[in-house]
């Protein structure tokens, strides 16, 4: 079978391609462009034609060097229009409605294992491999998405919204490896990535300055407005609701006997609601657009749930609701459950379900 490897320019995808080629020489490289690439990665000319044939774009010198190291053909996939309409627009709209988006989860579902996978199949590939630290196993005639062996690098959270059909076309060569082992393989085989730096959390936001990015887009983000406490008393002014997220402490400038934290964002009234730390803890959260990777249960089932990527996870039960919704009930209250983020539920090492926190 022909396997396409998504090459970002970093060490993880480079080593993933190297390992795959040792098992199967019939691989090709693809690199999808979003329109937000940095020139230091040697990406395509930004004036290249609009969406069309992968052959209409040429890889830059650094990507060409990666392809030569691997001795594989490299194709450029133009995902700019899809990325703008589905990822950037989602990011902006989520902030506009007072929530905190997670574009990396969305990008994996719509771009990497959506548009890029489709383009790879049009090039003759049957599967798409990436440098993610996660694993896929088949159990009882179902595919399971498992945590990566390297718990510090595990990226199953970001892949949790992939449907089983997408998982059937995915390969994660680094799933059973530690990051240190990946680095050893790169040194041993003289593999040099385009950049030694780790990927940014959000690739299209310069210096992770979300507020400036949103304001530059003139997208109807909120104007400054009142900061109120949980009793409704006005105690300050915010700089625009898009500059805040649940649990945030810095930048409030509201002196009090104890630090204030953002506990709610109220876009209808352009108000930022703050409270003391104890007000941040909740026992339940509702999630929507649930992606079940186990058979949808008829009653609550025990899980270990993460409410953000850096969350350690907590014991809970997930209870299916009407339509494609569910409720997660934690054994102990959790801090700063944030609307817009992905909640991912695990049963041991396997992703059981994931959805968007409402």
Residues assigned a catalytic role: 107, 203
Can you tell me whether residue 31 is helix, strand or coil?
Answer: strand
Six-digit token string for 330? 């934690």
Q: Which one, of 276, 261, 285, 272, lies nearest residue 334 by Cα?
A: 285
**Bridge pairing between strands 127-129 and 170-171:** parallel
Asked if residue 271 lies in contact with residue 232, where contact means CB atoms within 8 angstroms, the answer is no
Q: Which residue has the tokens 């994660």?
A: 172
Which alpha helices (H) appear in the chain, and where do they start and end? 11-23, 61-70, 80-83, 89-96, 103-107, 117-122, 164-167, 179-188, 210-216
Spatial CB neighbours of 269, under 8 Å, sequence gap ≥ 6: 225
């Amino acid at each position: 079978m022909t396997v396409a490897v998504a090459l970002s320019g970093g060490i993880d995808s480079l080593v993933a391609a190297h390992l795959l080629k040792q098992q199967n020489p019939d691989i090709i490289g693809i690199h999808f462009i979003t329109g937000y690439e940095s020139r230091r990665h040697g990406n395509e000319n930004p004036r290249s034609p609009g969406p069309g044939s992968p052959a209409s774009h040429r890889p830059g010198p650094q990507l060409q060097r990666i392809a030569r190291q691997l001795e594989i053909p490299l194709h450029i996939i133009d995902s700019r229009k899809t990325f703008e309409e589905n990822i950037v627009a989602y990011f902006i709209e989520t902030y506009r409605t007072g929530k905190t988006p997670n574009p990396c989860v969305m990008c994996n579902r719509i771009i990497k294992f959506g548009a890029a996978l489709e383009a790879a199949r049009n090039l003759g590939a049957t599967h798409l491999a990436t440098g993610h630290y996660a694993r896929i196993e088949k159990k009882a005639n179902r595919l399971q998405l498992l945590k990566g062996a390297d718990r510090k690098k595990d990226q199953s959270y970001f892949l949790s919204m992939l449907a089983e059909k997408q998982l059937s076309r995915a390969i994660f060569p680094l799933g059973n490896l530690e990051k240190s082992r990946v680095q050893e393989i790169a040194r041993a085989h003289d593999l040099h990535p385009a950049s030694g730096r780790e990927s940014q959390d959000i690739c299209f936001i310069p210096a992770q300055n979300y507020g400036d990015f949103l304001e530059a887009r003139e997208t109807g983000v909120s104007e400054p407005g009142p900061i109120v406490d949980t009793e409704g008393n006005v105690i300050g002014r915010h700089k625009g609701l898009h500059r805040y997220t649940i649990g945030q402490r810095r930048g409030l400038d509201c002196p009090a006997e104890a630090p204030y934290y953002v506990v709610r964002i109220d876009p209808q009234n352009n108000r930022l609601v703050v409270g003391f730390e104890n007000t941040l803890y909740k026992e339940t959260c509702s999630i929507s657009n649930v992606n079940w990777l186990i058979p949808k249960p008829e009653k609550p089932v025990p899980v270990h749930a993460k409410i953000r990527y850096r969350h350690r996870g907590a014991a809970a039960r997930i209870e299916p609701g009407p339509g494609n919704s569910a409720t997660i009930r934690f054994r102990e209250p959790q801090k700063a459950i944030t609307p817009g983020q992905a909640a991912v539920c695990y049963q041991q090492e396997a992703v059981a379900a994931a959805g968007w926190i409402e």
